[in-house]
Amino acid sequence: MPKRTDIHSVLIIGAGPIIIGQACEFDYSGTQACKALREEGYRVILVNSNPATIMTDPEFADRTYIEPITPLAVEKILVRELEEMRRMGVPVDAPGDGSTPGKLVLLPTLGGQTALNTAMALHRTGVLQRLGVEMIGAKADAIQRGEDRETFKQLMIQIGLDVPISGTAHTFEEARGVAERIGRYPLIIRPGFTLGGTGGGIAYNRDEFEEIARRGLDLSPVSEILIEESLLGWKEYEMEVMRDVADNCVIICSIENFDPMGVHTGDSITVAPIQTLTDKEFQIMRDASFAVIRAVGVETGGSNIQFSVNPENGRMIVIEMNPRVSRSSALASKATGFPIAKIAAKLAVGYRLDEIRNDITRETPASFEPTIDYVVTKIPRFAFEKFPQADPTLTTQMKSVGEAMAIGRTFKESLQKCLRSLEIGRSGLGGDGKPWRVGTDVYGDREILPNDIISRKLSVPNAERIFFIRHAFRAGFSADQIFHLTKIDPWFLDQIRELVEFEEELAASAPTIAA
């Protein structure tokens, strides 16, 4: 199908200010979208409150609004632009037969969560319907299905995919029953209707469970707790999927998290492509990704789908999906050379994947799955030194302020390059002659750190954990011990062991320099 001819103007919502959890990746995707849509001859209108973005440079849109990204501001812009289109003689109010460009449409999937939320608010209040403005890329009901946790979970069960086992309880006896049915610790307990979920927690054994369950039932004004199996320590994966209007689906990039479940993906070291799944398992995940994007109903464009895998038996669980271009999309684009945002914009106006040219080969179409002969590593950059009050433990809430990405022919090469790119003063995992600071203590680069410090730094996810894997190997910890403390996949740990081994080899062969 060629591009839609009924569209005259496209409003793109940017992501607004750069905050933790939403950085310049959405400037990248928005800029790509502006360029792609103007290339197709559409009039592009942009709203973004952040003038320090590239997309707000005058040449990227036909009209740029530096306004707050709020439903009210965007509504005013839509009204104003419809007036403007009428003034230009565009048949905005004529029903049209689809051949005359007369429509103003809204593309909400390229500006991160801010853009999506704003568009959804305009939909819920009926503004879009009243003004006759269509959402392209993803429709409101699809966004709703993808974003609402409970709706999403029920949908996954309907299409036969696995989700965490859970149950609600109103009495202590019921709670015990649910725990027995799940049959495994740790368990997550969430009291219903308490502010910010107070009174919940993770129970690692029966005693803890009974205590937290009792407390939760007491604290919940409706005496209700949700009990769910915990996926802490499981392997975590991501798939970047694209779909076109003819239902062609492709995987652009697969990503494996170095840090297991429990650390926010934005705070995790991530690696593309997936390293520790067989083809059979990978293809099941690929099929599941397509099933998810189809069930949620994202008609065109990209989505990011997250999975968790039990390392002991391969059980695969769908965690969540982002029905939009996400943080990982920017990484996946750079990692594979497939411009996700640009292609997503073209798919949103009706093109099919096989009608778009592959920018790298220039000869073949975009309907293919990139394959790579290298490894890409992304490492988050933290700035806890600037936030002395912040707890540096990594959890499910994102704390990193940026990231570095590196490409190498081996994981070891990409990891070392990436650590160096963080600009935290290290040349890699260590062995660069620079000291290590742990709290107020300072250790020499090749000094062996005390075991208790190493164990503590390994067992609680933190910004420096990767370096403590080196310290641990150097202090004589076995790979098995490190695995039990971190739950980081043994394959990754062995890669670090090889780096440490090589460091030792280098150190041993260094000529003794007379002092």
d(CA 76, CA 80): 6
Q: Which residues contact 239 (CB under 8 A, 6 or more apart)?
A: 251, 253, 254, 255, 285, 286, 289, 304, 305, 307
Handedness of CA 304, 309, 314, 318 (dihedral sign): negative
Residues with Cβ within 8 Å of residue 61, at least 6 apart in sequence: 12, 34, 38, 44, 45, 46, 55
Contact 18, 53 (CB under 8 A): no
CA dist 342 and 345 (Å) reads 5
Selection from 374, 302, 364 nearest residue 339 by Cα: 302
In the complex, what is the shortest distance from the CB of residue 368 to another protein, in angstroms, rounded to a whole number? 5
Strands 134-135 and 103-107: parallel
Q: How many Å apart are CA 129 and CA 108, to the nearest integer?
A: 15
Supply the minimum distance, in Å, between the C-beta of residue 492 and another protein. Answer: 8
Q: CB of 307: closest distance to another protein in angstroms?
A: 11
Task: Please give the backbone phi and psi of residue 173, each rounded to the nearest 5 degrees, phi first.
Answer: -65, -45
Query: Which candidate, 202, 281, 302, 294, places its Cα nearest to that of 237?
Result: 281
With residue 436 as reference, give the H or E element that holds it: strand 436-438
In the complex with another protein, the residue whose CB is nearer, 135 or 353, is 353
Is there a cis peptide before residue 186, judged by omega within 30 degrees of 0?
yes
Pick the closer one to another protein by CB: 154 or 283: 283
* Main-chain dihedrals φ then ψ at residue 40, nearest 5 degrees: -85, 0
In the complex, minimum distance from the CB of residue 4 to another protein, in angstroms, rounded to a whole number = 18
Using alpha carbons only, give the angle 273, 319, 296 rounded to the nearest 5 degrees: 95
Which residue lies nearer to another protein by CB, 59 or 279?
A: 279
Residues near another protein (CB under 8 A) are: 162, 165, 183-184, 246-248, 250, 254, 273-284, 286-287, 310-316, 353-354, 363-365, 367-375, 409-411, 479, 489-491, 494, 498
Q: Identify which of residues 70 and 248 has a Cβ nearer to another protein in the complex.
A: 248
Judged by CB, which is closer to another protein: 357, or 434?
357
Q: Which CB, 158 or 440, lies closer to another protein?
A: 158
Min dist CB 498 to another protein, Å, is: 7
From the CB of 64, what's the least distance to another protein, in Å?
36
Which residue lies nearer to another protein by CB, 373 or 385? 373
Q: How far is the CB of 355 from another protein (least distance, A)?
A: 10
Nearer to another protein, 314 or 435 (CB): 314
Query: Measured from the CB of residue 42, what is the shortest distance to another protein in angstroms?
Result: 25
